[in-house]
């Protein structure tokens, strides 16, 4: 009789609910421990390998899911009057939130602002700089670079320099091979520390109007700007946001100086630094120089470099 009473007592809706809560409680307790392990692993991984949070913000999901699990565990612990675990959960939530915010802010300073984070032993690539030559009349022109050891790819092949016959419309002819070119191409290591304190933050979908405006201001004509945009558009438009900055002439001359004979009357060099972003950042807007006037023999060069992977420390 007593046994039947106990069974009937255990079969009441209240007792069934209590048993269910206990099962959920044990499951959440295990998940709670796993979440703590996950958070610890994330922090260790960030410390060791400098995970690029701006491009891979999955750590946020880790922290948020952990907080949700802890909150559920706390509620069940409260329902079962498990005071110790309840208070442990309450204490864990602000600790995890503070840790999340702190790591995110530190990471933004490291990987976005770039304060003293440039590793000179590792270089980004000055990607696809091409040089146009526009003399006032058909002229034999020699172009050499000041740091040939940093060149990685060239076309026509760079030996001790390029010597071509240039026409006013920009057509180039190699006098040795009689081959025709429309520009000189080089690619090389970029040894200049990126300046990520000033520039522009542009939505990927706004890339075209932004570049059309800025390239015209920097002195490129429509054909040159068209080629620039066609090359860089896939790398910029596919990102939600981009940090964009244009190197100064002094920076470009330091990284890869050009020696041209005869000397050009007008020199226009455009080198874009960019960094893909998931979310926008705040930077001081870069002040661009006045638009140059193209007079006499004009040399125009444009290129770009992805500065994301140079920010390592």
For 141-197, the pLDDT digits (tens) are 999 999 999 999 999 999 999 999 999 999 999 999 999 999 999 999 888 888 888
3-class secondary structure, 47? helix
For all residues of the chain together, what is the average pLDDT?
79
Domain assignment of residue 12, yes or no:
yes
Domain end, chosen from 77, 94, 113, is at 113
Q: Indicate whether 75 and 141 sit together in one domain.
A: no
The C-alpha atoms of residue 263 and residue 309 are separated, in whole angstroms, by 36
Q: Indicate whether 61 and 206 sit together in one domain.
A: no
Q: Indicate whether 26 and 131 sit together in one domain.
A: no
The C-alpha atoms of residue 28 and residue 86 are separated, in whole angstroms, by 12
Q: Indicate whether 73 and 189 sit together in one domain.
A: no
Task: Quickly state the pLDDT bin for 62 (edges 50, 70, 90).
Answer: low
Q: Indicate whether 83 and 129 sit together in one domain.
A: no
Q: Indicate whether 171 and 78 sit together in one domain.
A: no
Residue 296's domain spans which residues? 124-310
What local confidence, expressed as pLDDT, does residue 160 receive? 92
What share of the chain in percent tops pLDDT 90? 52
Q: Indicate whether 191 and 285 sit together in one domain.
A: yes
Give me the residues paired with residue 238 across strands: none
Which residue would you say has higher pLDDT here, 246 or 25?
Answer: 246
Domain end, chosen from 81, 113, 145, is at 113
What local confidence, expressed as pLDDT, does residue 120 receive? 41
Domain assignment of residue 200, yes or no:
yes
Q: Indicate whether 67 and 141 sit together in one domain.
A: no
Residue from 281, 294, 106, 118 nearest 192 by CA: 118
Residue from 15, 140, 33, 16 nearest 88 by CA: 33
Lowest mean pLDDT among 53-62, 269-278, 285-294: 53-62
Domain assignment of residue 118, yes or no:
no
Domain end, chosen from 113, 146, 181, is at 113
What local confidence, expressed as pLDDT, does residue 308 receive? 75
Q: Which residue has the tokens 């007008």?
A: 266
Task: Quickly state the pLDDT bin for 60 (edges 50, 70, 90).
Answer: low
The C-alpha atoms of residue 219 and residue 187 are separated, in whole angstroms, by 22
What local confidence, expressed as pLDDT, does residue 312 receive? 36
Q: Indicate whether 181 and 295 sit together in one domain.
A: yes
Q: Is the pLDDT of residue 238 over 90?
A: yes
Q: Indicate whether 84 and 147 sit together in one domain.
A: no
Q: How many CB atoms lie within 10 A of CB 312?
A: 13
Q: Indicate whether 102 and 132 sit together in one domain.
A: no
The C-alpha atoms of residue 158 and residue 96 are separated, in whole angstroms, by 56
What local confidence, expressed as pLDDT, does residue 177 receive? 94
> How far, rounded to the nearest angstrom, does the alpha carbon of residue 126 sit from its chain's CA centroid?
15
Lowest mean pLDDT among 4-13, 69-78, 282-291: 4-13
DSSP per residue, 41-82: HHHHHHHHH---TTT-THHHHHHHHHHHHHHHHHHHHHHTT-
Number of domains in the chain: 2
Q: Tell me the Cα Rg of the chain.
A: 30
Q: Indicate whether 219 and 198 sit together in one domain.
A: yes
Whether residue 233 contacts residue 266, with contact meaning beta carbons closer than 8 Å, is answered with: no
What local confidence, expressed as pLDDT, does residue 14 receive? 66
């Amino acid at each position: 009789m007593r046994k039947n009473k106990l069974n009937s007592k255990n079969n009441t809706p209240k007792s069934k609910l209590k048993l269910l809560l206990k099962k959920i409680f044990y499951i959440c307790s295990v998940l709670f421990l796993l979440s703590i392990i996950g958070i610890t692993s994330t922090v260790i991984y960030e410390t060791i390998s400098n995970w690029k949070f701006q491009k891979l913000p999955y750590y946020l999901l880790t922290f948020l899911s952990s907080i949700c699990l802890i909150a559920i565990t706390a509620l069940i612990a409260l329902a079962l009057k498990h005071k110790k675990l309840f208070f442990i959960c309450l204490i864990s939530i602000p600790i995890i939130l503070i840790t999340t915010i702190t790591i995110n802010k530190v990471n933004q300073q490291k990987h976005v602002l770039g304060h003293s984070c440039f590793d000179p032993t590792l270089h980004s690539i000055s990607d696809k700089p091409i040089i146009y030559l526009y003399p006032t009349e058909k002229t034999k022109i020699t172009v050499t670079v000041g740091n040939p050891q940093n060149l990685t790819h060239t076309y026509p092949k760079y030996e001790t320099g390029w010597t071509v016959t240039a026409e006013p419309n920009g057509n180039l002819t190699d006098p040795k091979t009689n081959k025709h070119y429309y520009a000189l191409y080089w690619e090389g290591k970029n040894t200049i520390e990126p300046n990520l304190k000033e520039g522009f933050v542009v939505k990927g979908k706004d890339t075209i109007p932004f570049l059309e405006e800025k390239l015209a201001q920097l002195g490129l004509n429509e054909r040159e700007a068209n080629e620039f945009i066609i090359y860089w558009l896939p790398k910029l438009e596919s990102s939600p946001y981009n940090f964009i900055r244009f190197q100064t002439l002094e920076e470009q001359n330091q990284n890869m100086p050009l020696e041209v004979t005869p000397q050009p009357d007008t020199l226009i060099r455009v080198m874009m630094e960019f960094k893909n972003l998931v979310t926008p950042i705040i930077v001081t807007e870069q002040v661009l120089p006045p638009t140059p006037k193209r007079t006499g023999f004009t040399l125009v060069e444009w290129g770009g470099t992805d500065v994301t992977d140079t920010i390592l420390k």
